A = this chain, B = another copy of it.
């Protein structure tokens, strides 16, 4: 059987929703970005990977299976890589809120890291998904830095609309965030 990118029969069986052009709705931001990165790698456009989750291993058994381990707090970001020779680094976060992005979603070490990347000539940003609105924004760390001066606890949607870059969902690649980088660099 040919694997069509979108199998409408299965889709109808599995859901009661009408199939529409927004079939990527509901996919987690991580899945959207990972699929996009695979597309970039396959097409030799960029080499961007998600870093493994940091885990502190305490015990392994004779077969080298881990039997006790702990999740660690990441000190850097989830994604980094290479685009046009440059270093690129970002964090991706979802929020269910329809009005603002709570800043406690980002830990202070991650913000510090992204600031350092920016200061040292890398490309640093966050990608925020407003899951209830199906809206996605790329927001550069320079803008985040400015916004943090206001000492607020969340970033309103309007700030992303004004100073961020809205990302469109499509088929290939799913979330073409490098388009924003192309426009600016």
Residues of A within 8 A of B (CB): 41, 44, 46-47, 49, 51-55, 57, 64-72, 76, 80-89, 113, 116-117, 119-122
Contact = CB atoms under 8 A, between A and B. Distances in A.
Contacts of A121: 82, 84-85
Most chain B CB within a 10 A radius of its CB, from A41, A69, A87: A87
Contacts of A82: 87, 89, 117, 120-122
B66 A49 contact: no
A44 B68 CA distance: 36
Contacts of A81: 80, 87
A69 B120 CA distance: 37
A155 B60 CA distance: 33
Contacts of A122: 47, 82, 85
A139 to B, nearest CB: 20
A89 B55 CA distance: 22
A61 to B, nearest CB: 10
Contact of A55 (B57, B85, B117, B120): B57
Contact of A66 (B46, B52, B64, B69): B69
A74 to B, nearest CB: 8
A120 B70 contact: no
Given A47-B117, A49-B76, A117-B47, A69 B55 contact: yes
A51 B53 CA distance: 9
Nearest to A88: B87
A44 B116 contact: yes
Contacts of A51: 51-52
